[in-house]
Amino acid sequence: MIGYLLRRLVYVIPTVLLTITAVFFLIYLVPGNPAQVMLGVEATQEEVDALAEHLGIDEPLPVQFARYLSRLVRGNLGVSIYHKLPVTELFLMRLPNTLRLGVFSICFALAVAIPLGITAAVRRNSIWDYASMLVALAGMSVPVFWLAILLIYAFGLQLRWLPISGIGEAWYTLDGFRHTILPGIALSAGLLASSTRLLRSSMLEILSEDYVRTARAKGLPERLVIYRHALRNALNPLVTNVALQMGALIGGAFLTETVFAWPGIGRLLVQAIVRRDYPLIQGITLATAVFVILINLVADLCYALLDPKVRYS
């Protein structure tokens, strides 16, 4: 296990370095002078030169990259042009809100997907199977922003059950929980749909294995056969799916947070793009990419905990 962990960490290092390099050159994909683009066409040449000097983009490219790496080692992601605050500080201020939304959406998706997937597999070709697959198909087909608008219209404007914008009070209060429900459900749709389909397929394969038939032949209760013998071995693909969907989940958070005026990282990035705040765009993009890489590493390490057959040499 230790050897596998070390090998995975070795693989992560070049991936992170490539990500850092790509994010660094992001600013140079902009046509023309980046400082001019940030300030707009009405800016004077003196203002453009001052911003270029402040950002260090008037120096040779190798020098810029070396200084960029030096800042990253110290945990410095730069300073936001619009907010006049360190990007790291802004990121950490919004991170709890995005984590709150993400954790709710993952918990909701798995809480619905696991029962649906198990039911669809155990009662194959029944009305329950067809209904579960219909829910999964709808979740995969409806865009996040459209589902968010439908939820706002139905539960916020018509029924007036739930608030439609803002973050409310602290996450552990009733008001905070009510504010999280609609954006959390909208964000969880894609993960819910893919997890349901994947778990159904995995359970169908596991239920046909010899050890499951042996457990049934011994007279074990059906619930014990399904949840102790079959489900645990069927969860590995689900863990992989959750890890792979983290990128899509974060991408969906940009839309969801914008629609629901949720003060998270996604909305902060959208505002930074509109304001052409490139240091903030670079910092959020890099932090998000590294987060997704680490999530996939954690998913790999979870395999051994879920499946005793998995052995790492």
DSSP string, the chain: -HHHHHHHHHHHHHHHHHHHHHHHGGGGGSSS-HHHHHH-TT--HHHHHHHHHHHTTTS-HHHHHHHHHHHHHTT---B-TTT-SBHHHHHHHHHHHHHHHHHHHHHHHHHHHHHHHHHHHHTTTSHHHHHHHHHHHHHHHS-HHHHHHHHIIIIIIIS--S--SS--S-TTSHHHHHHHHHHHHHHHHHHHHHHHHHHHHHHHHHHTSHHHHHHHHTT--HHHIIIIIIHHHHHHHHHHHHHHHHHHHHHHHHHHHHHTT--SHHHHHHHHHHTT-HHHHHHHHHHHHHHHHHHHHHHHHHHHHH-TT----
Distance CA 223, CA 221 (A): 5
The pLDDT of residue 31 is 65
Provide the residue-wise pLDDT of the chain in tens; the chain has 313 residues: 566 667 777 777 888 888 888 888 876 676 666 676 677 767 777 877 787 777 776 777 788 888 888 888 888 888 887 888 888 888 888 888 888 888 898 899 889 888 888 888 888 888 888 888 888 888 878 888 888 899 999 998 888 888 888 888 887 888 889 999 999 898 888 888 888 888 888 888 887 777 777 777 777 777 777 777 777 777 777 777 777 777 667 766 788 888 888 888 888 888 888 777 888 888 888 888 888 788 777 766 766 565 555 554 4
The pLDDT of residue 16 is 83
The pLDDT of residue 307 is 57
The pLDDT of residue 251 is 67
**Rounded to 5 degrees, what are φ and ψ at 4?**
-65, -40
What residues does 79 pair with on adjacent strands? 86
CB atoms under 10 Å from CB of 176, counted, come to 14
Model-wide pTM > 0.85 = no
Alpha-carbon separation of residue 313 from 115, 218, 244, 304 (angstroms): 34, 34, 24, 12
CB atoms under 10 Å from CB of 203, counted, come to 26
The pLDDT of residue 108 is 92
Token pair belonging to 141: 């087909």
**Rounded to 5 degrees, what are φ and ψ at 120?**
-65, -35
Alpha-carbon separation of residue 179 from 2, 17, 106, 174, 246 (angstroms): 42, 38, 16, 9, 22
CB atoms under 10 Å from CB of 199, counted, come to 27
The pLDDT of residue 33 is 65
CA end-to-end span of the chain: 7
Distance CA 182, CA 184 (A): 5
Q: Where are the domains of the chain?
A: 95-262
Distance CA 119, CA 129 (A): 7
For the domain spanning 95-262, the CATH number is 1.10.3720.10
